[in-house]
Amino acid sequence: MESYKKTLIKTIIWRFIATSITILSGWFVSGNWKFGLVIGGIDTILKTFGYFSYERLWLKYTKNKFK
C-alpha cells in the first residue's frame, strides 16, 4: 500500500499534467493563450471541488454499505 505522502505527490503531479493539457487545448482551439489559461484555471477549480465531493459521497456510501 502506498503512503499518503506518495499518493499526494502523485496527485499533484497528475493535476499539473492534466491542467497543462487543458491549457494547451484551450490555446490550440482558440489561438489565444489567455483563454487557455482561463479554461485551465476553471477546469482545475471545478474538478478539484468535484473530486472532493465525490470522495466525501463515496466515504458516506461505503460507510453505510459495508457496516
Residues 19 and 48 sit within 8 Å (Cβ to Cβ): no
Question: Measuring CA to CA, which residue among 59, 17, 10 is closest to residue 2?
Answer: 10
Q: Which residue type is seen at 54? A: Y
Confidence band for 35, pLDDT divided at 50, 70 and 90: very high
- Residue 3 backbone phi and psi in degrees, to 5: -75, 160
Bigger pLDDT: 33 vs 52: 33
In percent, how much of the chain has pLDDT > 90? 49
**So what's the pLDDT on residue 27?**
97
**pLDDT tops 90 at residue 43:** yes
The residues spanned by each domain of the chain are: 4-65
